[in-house]
Amino acid sequence: MAPKATKRRKASKADTMPKATATTATSAPDLLAKSKEAYEQELKDLAKKARTQKGYWAGQLAIYIHCFILLGLIAIASNVSQLVLSPVYGSIPASIWHSKLVMAACFTGWASNIFLDRALPVEPVELLPLIAMYIPAVQYLLFRVSGYLGGSYGPLVTELLTIFPLITISSACVATNLEYADFGPLPKFIADAVPGLGSFGFYKVAEKVTSSFIAQHIGTNFYMTRIGLEGLLAASYTTIAPSKFLLFGLPVLLHTTLLNPHLPSPMALSWLNGGMEKEGWKILDRRDSLTGYVSVVESLKDGFRVLRCDHSLLGGEWVKFEDTGRFKGNQVAEPIYGVFAMLEAVRLVEVPHPVPDNEAKALVIGLGIGTTPAALVAHGINTTVVEIDPVVHEFATKYFQLPSNHTAVIEDAVSYTDRLVNQTQGVGQFDYIIHDVFTGGAEPVALFTYEFLQNLNSLLKPDGVVAINYAGDFSHPPPLLIVNTIRSVFGPSCRIFREHPRDEAQAAAHNGRDFTNMVIFCTKSSTQEITFRNPSSRDLLNSPSREAFLLPKWEVTEEDLLRGANGSVAEAEKLGVLRRNDTSLLEKWQQESALGHWEIMRGVLPEVVWVNW
């Protein structure tokens, strides 16, 4: 129950003093006759005497506890809002306006608490449970029009109509409560600043702590899912501010329980698939996980299956070819993206002392659906896969053709390689290293730094080969920055190939954008020229995709790379390299890259897949 401080009648601190002190107060005419100093002293005396009264400090404690709870809840709501938006917009587009909107909501609520208290026909605190209950339904409706709103303004509109009013009303309630807080002997100018600064400081700490907690436990049970957390928030607001208006939340509560496809329940998934199958799609499985919302989606019409994480695809393969015709008995599946076959060309790079496959060791950073590891295992190579997300590994094994005879390391690649380098004193361990983590505007920046690439270089044997996949827009600096960093570690002899040749017409149609997957091949030797042997039938694994894409064809030129630096070599040199303690060079471009990637993804799969998770 909200303390008396949230009631609408505006009273001074003197009004809140126990009645036992009323006899000590002077009459109004006497007060007017007193000097300002005497009047202030009398108020201090009254406050001091009030502190000795029974129940005074209990009331003060109630005020602080209520404020802490409200601030903690909006911190959780802020984090959960980003989680719910990420499957529809991606984590970076969802964050573009978020911090600014939260700041605006906090300021609006804090500055207008008296106005809201007087203007609203109900107590502001009583609206909080109702707002929290309506948020999932409002998000569901707005997601239906996400294609129209766009990747940039869709998240802004959604949060303006959901967490903005929640944070505004909560901040107003906190401001009202703290008008009655006792800050003891603090000077007035400090006491005036403490409520606002202290509240915002507590909120930011709570936001960081709850974000870390949610990241560690997301997906572990129903309540630690996106919709589950929104339900917990609504229940928490109902507990601290029970309201007679809660009946108005019954329709949206029923909608969330029975009709919201985002609810992580078998019934919701069955109902969702009933509608999606009419569009030619089916969700085989889905899970909230630490890297995002992960799901397996199948095209019933075209016969392929993809692994999705938030608003991106980690890979896909054709399922209609399984055990049919020439594909019967194949050791590997047919990938729907050629770049994954191109990564396997690490085996084709000519080195002074080739290693037989059955004696070779490979390290794969990033799993996806397991296309590349599956091919390496098929060739008899001892393969270790480092994947941070256990759900990605589970789904790749269960729904895609990732064989079990590989070594799986479920860990952050940075910590794993740091530890392995320290344990081996930098002695090369692997003949092949494939670096294939998600890129396209939301890449884990730490995995492209000079320091991480140095670790890979240390773990590579003298005749080893590394292949690094990066998806980016050549009209922007990130691809050039990444290539600069790779060359600073492995030398200038690296060669770069793109998945498809540059399409001038398409680039012109998209404001000069040239977004593509590219693979950078390097050897341990900084002077060795990269050349590829012709693939044999065994290399191709009876796979049409590998026949078309295994041997790299479309090489990236220096002119292509320099487009991101306006064609200027001097500007390209200014970019330098990406270091662990200075990742802002890449991060500042992620926003625009992520928005471009969002548009591309909406063209790869239809809207019905993205908005229904």
**DSSP per-residue letters across 142-198:** HHTTHHHHHHHHHHHHHHHTTHHHHHHHHHHHHHHHHTT---TT--HHHHHHHHHHH
pLDDT at position 397 is 96
Q: What percent of the chain has pLDDT over 90?
A: 63
Q: Model pTM greater than 0.85?
A: yes
Are 13-17+53-258 and 337-345+353-599 equal in CATH topology?
no
* CB proximity list for 10: less than 8 A, separation 6 or greater: 114, 117
188-197, 292-301, 385-394: least confidently modelled range: 188-197
What's the Rg (C-alpha) of the chain? 30
* CB proximity list for 600: less than 8 A, separation 6 or greater: 440, 515
The mean predicted confidence, pLDDT, of the chain is 87
User: With 90 as the cut, is the pLDDT of residue 287 above it?
Assistant: yes
User: With 60 as the cut, is the pLDDT of residue 508 above it?
Assistant: no
Q: Which residue has the tokens 């200075």?
A: 582
Residue 4's Cβ-count burial label (10 Å; 0-12, 13-18, 19+) is middle
- Let me know: does 440 contact 471? Beta carbons within 8 Å: yes
- Let me know: does 146 contact 599? Beta carbons within 8 Å: no
pLDDT at position 259 is 87
- Domain locations in the chain as residue ranges: 13-17+53-258, 337-345+353-599
* CB proximity list for 27: less than 8 A, separation 6 or greater: none
- Region of residue 350 (left: phi > 0; alpha: psi -120 to 50; beta: else): beta
More confident residue, 31 or 219: 219
| CATH code that applies to domain 337-345+353-599 | 3.40.50.150
pLDDT at position 559 is 86
120 residue type, one letter = L
Give the separation between CA 559 and CA 564, rounded to whole angstroms.
9
* CB proximity list for 253: less than 8 A, separation 6 or greater: 133
DSSP 120: S
Pick the CATH number of 13-17+53-258 from 3.30.70, 1.20.1250, 3.30.1490, 3.30.379: 1.20.1250
Please, what's the b/e burial string for 249-286 (b: 16 or more CB within 10 A of its CB; e: otherwise)?
beebbebbeeebbbbbeeebbebbbeebeeeebbbeeb
13-27, 148-162, 354-368: least confidently modelled range: 13-27
- Let me know: does 218 contact 83? Beta carbons within 8 Å: yes
Residue 239's Cβ-count burial label (10 Å; 0-12, 13-18, 19+) is exposed
pLDDT band at 46 (very low <50, low <70, confident <90, very high): low
User: pLDDT of 83-127, one tens digit each?
Assistant: 999 999 999 999 999 999 999 999 999 999 999 988 988 899 999
Per the document, the length of the chain is 613
Which of 228, 233, 219 is CA-nearest to residue 166?
A: 233
* CB proximity list for 340: less than 8 A, separation 6 or greater: 315, 368, 371, 372, 436
Which of 553, 542, 520, 527 is CA-nearest to residue 346?
A: 520
- Let me know: does 428 contact 458? Beta carbons within 8 Å: yes
Q: Which residue has the tokens 């690296």?
A: 494
